[in-house]
Structure 1
Amino acid sequence: MSSTPVVRPSYAAVLRIPHARRTFGAALLGRLSYGVAPLSVMLAVTRSSGSYAVAGVVMALFSGASVFLSPARAALIDRYGPRRALVPMVGAHTSLLALLAALVWRPGAVTPLVLGAVAVAAGAGTPPLGPTMRAVWGRLAPERALLQRAYSLDAVAEELLFVSGPLLVGVLVGFAPPAAGVLAGAALMVLGTAGFVSSPAVRDVPPARREKERGTGGRRVLSGIRRPVIAAAGVGLALGVVDLLVVAFAEGHGPGSGGAAWVLAALSAGSAVGGLVNGAVAWKASTGVRLSAQAAGLGLALCGAGLAQGLGTLAVAVAAVGLFVSPLITTAYLVADETAAPEARVRAGAWVNTAVNAGGTAGAAAAGVLVGRLPAGVCFALTGAAMVLTAAAVVRRERGTGSPVPLV
């Protein structure tokens, strides 16, 4: 009697998939640029212009163009395939980063208007390596349990990149001008993308069939991603608020103590642990149910953080908040992947990613209005209430029953 070997869905099994380590490692190297280039741009423009206001505007233009044009760039990946779309995209993006580095190398060399224009162009071409890698994971790990672990590993690794990127910049500017960090970000993107597109796993990805040949439109192939996008925007909003609230809380409990850094580190640590645990568990509930449950859990944890009386208790409470962050984002990507058409996988992931970033921007703005007007505990509670409402928004009740079901 013959039997088919069963692959145990574990993190080790994910990395044993043919070409997975090479493809994932190259994508991470390129994505490290996301943590290096933006901070380097801000530091370099500050040094060149001598103005924090100019640096803030240039940074907003760079980040805004990068975030909000991500779905459009992802559409090019879906339509033409990763190799045909990423190579020219990376060439344009890194060339503009190099130009920006040259412009800010000497203080006062160019006007803020020129810096802003180049920053917008550079940000507009930022390659969507994250959404593309997640689409490739869908091909490498078609079994859902294995894909869940792949996405969890991807989410945790990406979070670590955004922590290590600024640390790398901090080391670099200790012996080189900040503009060198911009060049380092460009180099990371070139090297990572070159390794990524040369991987057999990426070379085999065909361009999608044109939507008009399928008799469908953009709305059709992306139908069903409303729920994960709403959930992602909610978690982004929460993170944007929490970052500023933690800084304000720490300042109120000992200015200059550096307590905010430790509390935010606890948030990242909690998110990493939550992501790894979420990926390791063989969930029986559907991804739609988990999406709403994790959003509700995040909301309740935020309300609990509002009860903290000191930095120590806040760090513990924020670590508990983090336990839901990476799992919620991972589940949002899974739901988007399940509900979008195969030829729109990169776009679906890009919309989730854009929602997280857009939510973060809105959250930071909301926190700026609330902090100073309301106690920190009330701000945490309001943010938690917003997440509970988000949880309610991503489920509906099945007709004829009282049980909530996912909107798939």
Structure 2
Amino acid sequence: MDQPEDVASPPVARLATTLLATSLLGRLPQAMSALALVRIVIDGGGGYAFAGALTGGYVVASTVGTPLLGRVIDVTGRSRAVLLASGVVSTAALLGLALLVTAAPPAAFLLALVAGFAFPPLEPTLRSLWPRIMAPGAQLARAFGADAAAQEVLFILGPLLAVAAAALLGATGGVQVMAVAGLIGTVLFCTHRLLRDRVATSEGREAHPSALRTRAVRTLIVAQVAAGLPIGVLTISAARLAAIAGESALNGWALAVNAGGALTGALLIARFPPRIAPERALRILLVLLALLYLPTAAFGLTPAVWLAGASLAGLCLPPLLTQVFAITATTPQASLTEANGWVISAFSVGIGVGTALAGVLAGSVLAIIGASVVALLGAMYASPSRLGARPPMPG
């Protein structure tokens, strides 16, 4: 297999494993933040309203910052410098938040915004590297599948690590561990020579149009928001199931089995990549995802059957994300990091909107059906013709 000269050695498998492992360590704050930030507020005597605002502010700021920092990397060519600088700022803000959350809540909230916005764009940077490392076709598809599987593992382990860190070191120590672990992972990720900086010329800057000018990227943003809605709704519908059954533990079990189903889907897509084009596979998988979430609207089922449905609902998410990664990889290299940032953030927006709307509707049947319908509409919009490789629009 032909390889770019700069990645001919060490072996591809070891290179990919190193990049993936270090990026996951660097992204631990994202996986731990929901529980860790809520815990530090509640344990400090604060209320759930402030806990939600602090956590939500961190997530929303990260959603905004990720594509913008990716844009900076594309334009300047300084991936290592941007990642390290943003990692230091985000870590410092989290450490300051941990110290001020009780003494100065407004300052802690501002620091949460800074920490989220400055969170290093490790995920889009990694996705922009896969096409440089892997051969097109099955090898690249398996890399995206392994990436999706590792992401599921991260979001299963993240909450568990947050609980363990808080139990051992207290809520403040838990946030501090989260912050330091993220910085260590970012530094280790940046040690690889693929992340070396290159200085862009003025001509190079003009040659970096925004990824948003590419039709396929805009289409993927719509599809990702639509895909995120049912996932966000599940958080609230699982809580409603637990309340109906009178078993609070069912809430956690529902999310766990859904994540387990997603991990199964990730392993399957890594082992058996689809034989059809990603542009066609994406629409099929988004339709299946929408349909598989519909059984979770049947609250009259026994908890065991409902949980089985929640597990099946998770199956299609990683295969869907794998197609998203593959299509995004066709974006011109000059805006690839930004493109990955937008599609990642769009998915987070979908989850957030789904959770918020389901909260307003108390996780009702209407919320679940509505999210699935929107996901189906997103699948209809994400036609292969819209997702085909197209040059950036002029202007």
What does residue 275 of structure 2 align with?
284
Contact kept? 2:149, 2:318, Cα under 8 Å: yes
Pairwise CA RMSD: 2.5
Gaps of 5+ in 1: 8-13, 399-404
* Counterpart residue number, 2:90: 93
Residue 156 (structure 2) aligns with: 163
Which residue does the alignment assign to 1:109? 103
Following superposition of structure 1 onto structure 2, how do residues 12-23 of structure 1 map, counting pairs within 5 Å?
16-23=12-19
Q: Is the 8 A contact 2:73 2:79 kept in 1?
A: yes
CA distance in 2, matches of 1:316, 1:343: 44
Q: Verify the 8 A CA contact 2:142 2:273 in the aligned structure 1.
A: no
Q: What is the letter of the counterpart of residue 313 of structure 1?
A: V
The structure whose Rg is larger is: 1
Pick aligned residue for 1:393 from 378, 381, 392:
381
Structure 2 unpaired stretches of 5+: 4-9, 390-395
1:155 alignment partner AA: A
Amino acid corresponding to residue 109 of structure 1 in structure 2 = A
Report the CA distance between 1:249 and its aligned residue: 1.6
| Percentage identity across paired residues of the two chains | 26
Indicate if the aligned counterparts of 2:261 and 2:314 stay in contact, CA closer than 8 A: yes
Equivalent residue for 2:328, pick from 326, 332, 336: 336
Q: 1:215 to 1:406 in 2, by over 3 A?
A: closer
Is residue 303 from structure 1 mapped to residue 294 from structure 2 by the alignment? Answer: yes
How high is the TM-score relative to the length of structure 1?
0.86
Residues 61-80 of structure 1 mapped to structure 2, 5 A cutoff = 61-79=57-75, 80=77
How far apart, CA to CA, are the structure 2 residues paired with 1:345 and 1:270? 30
Aligned pairs (5 A) from 1:4-403 = 16-79=12-75, 80-104=77-101, 108-110=102-104, 112-203=105-196, 206=198, 217-218=209-210, 222-256=214-248, 258-307=249-298, 309-338=301-330, 340-371=331-362, 374=364, 376=365, 378-395=366-383
Aligned to 2:304, the other structure's residue is in SS state helix
- How far 1:282 sits from its partner (Å)? 4.0
SS of 1:127's equivalent in the other structure is coil
TM-score w.r.t. the length of structure 2 is: 0.89
Residues 369/215 of structure 1: CA separation in 2 closer, same or farther (3 Å cut): same
CA contact (8 A) 1:134 1:349 kept: yes
When residues 184 and 286 of structure 1 are mapped into structure 2, their CA distance, relative to the original with a 3 A threshold, is same
Alignment CA distance shift 1:161-1:18 (3 Å): closer
Contact 2:36 2:162 in 1 (8 A): yes
Q: Distance in 2 between matches of 1:362 and 1:333?
A: 22
How many Å separate the matches in 1 of 2:273 and 2:56? 41
